Amino acid sequence: MTGYVIRRLVQSVIVLIGVSILVFAIVHLVPGDPIRLALGTRGTEETYQAMRERAGLDEPLVVQYFQWIGSALTGDLGVSFRTGQPVANMISERVPATLSLAAAAIVVALLIAVPLGTLSALKPRSPVDWFATVSSQAGLSIPDFWMGIMFILLFAGTLGWLPSGGYVGFTEDPVQWARHLIMPAVTAGVASGSIMTRFVRSSVLEALGQDYVRTARAKGMRARDVMTWHVLRNALVPLVTVGGVQLAYLLSGVVIVEIVFAWPGLGQMALQAVEARDYSLLQGTVLLFAVIFLVVNLVVDLLYAKLDPRISYEQGAAR
């Protein structure tokens, strides 16, 4: 078990190095001069040169890479060209908003997917199943900006129940935090929920047809217990993988939802960094996204092995 975790961590580090090189290369090969953009029409040639030097942009790319990665290891991701603030601070300021939104959205997604997927698997070709199919199709095809705007018009405008956007920290005011979170979480969660509904449906359907479910029924177990311990428990195994992918996606920023609800998350910041050619900010954010993906993946694999005893740590990730 420990050996497996160590092996996976080493793998992750190697992947991370690769990703960092890739991120660095892409950011630096994209045309556009960040200093000119930051200066705009102000500033003389001298200020321009001075800023280039200070940002280390005069050095060869290889040197720049090692400088960046070296300080990144100490937690220093450089300074944003645009705001002059340390990138690490800018990122950590946004983490609570992103975490809140991702966690709430995955809860919404699960609250949609597990009951709806299970019900439609229990009664295939019934009205419930039909409803699940149609609504998950709709959930996937309705653009999230449109859904977000409709929510705002209805719940913030007409009904006036919820604030139309913005973020309040949990520590500042938990009630306001929750009120601000509801609409963006539902908007972001619906798409993930729709994907997961289909998944839950097919894995529950598969579990239902297994011989061991028949064995459980033949024991005289209550239908509810058979459902929980034999059908859902087994359907959960593949769901963990899909849920992990969705969570990683939500964590790495649901840009459009963040924009619609003026949500100060990482996705929005990454977008601004691209627009401003803010190299250091962009590199830092993308690197963080890579770390998120790797961590979520590792957790999913560990959870997977925990849920399915047939997967042994010794064989490594069998999938």
Per CB under 8 A, residues contacting another protein are 209-212, 214-223, 225, 229-230, 233-234, 237, 307-310
CA dist 152 and 165 (Å) reads 8
Q: Determine contact, residues 267/252, Cβ cutoff 8 Å.
A: yes
Q: Give the three-state DSSP class for 79.
A: strand
CB of 81 to another protein, least distance (A): 52
Query: Do the beta carbons of residue 192 and residue 248 sit within 8 Å?
Result: no
C-beta of 48 vs 313, nearer to another protein: 313
- Which residue's CB is nearer to another protein, number 54 or number 306? 306
Q: Minimum CB separation from another protein for residue 230, in Å?
A: 6
Toward another protein, which CB reaches closer, 54 or 222? 222
Helices (H), the chain: 2-29, 34-39, 45-54, 61-73, 87-122, 127-141, 144-151, 174-208, 211-218, 223-226, 233-251, 255-260, 266-275, 279-307
Strand partners, 79: 86
Shortest Å, Cβ 211 to another protein: 4
Instruction: Give the shortest CB-6-to-another protein separation in angstroms.
Output: 25
Is there a contact between 280 and 78 (Cβ–Cβ < 8 Å)?
yes
Q: Residue 171 CB, nearest distance to another protein (Å)?
A: 40
Length of the chain: 319
Residue closer to another protein, measured from CB, 69 or 221: 221
Instruction: Quote the least distance from Cβ 201 to another protein, whole Å.
Output: 17
Alpha-carbon gap, residue 108 to 79, rounded angstroms: 36
Of 85 and 210, nearer to another protein (C-beta) is 210
Q: Is 37 exposed, middle or buried (0-12, 13-18, 19+ CB in 10 A)?
A: middle
Q: Which is nearer to another protein, 227 or 254 (CB)?
A: 227
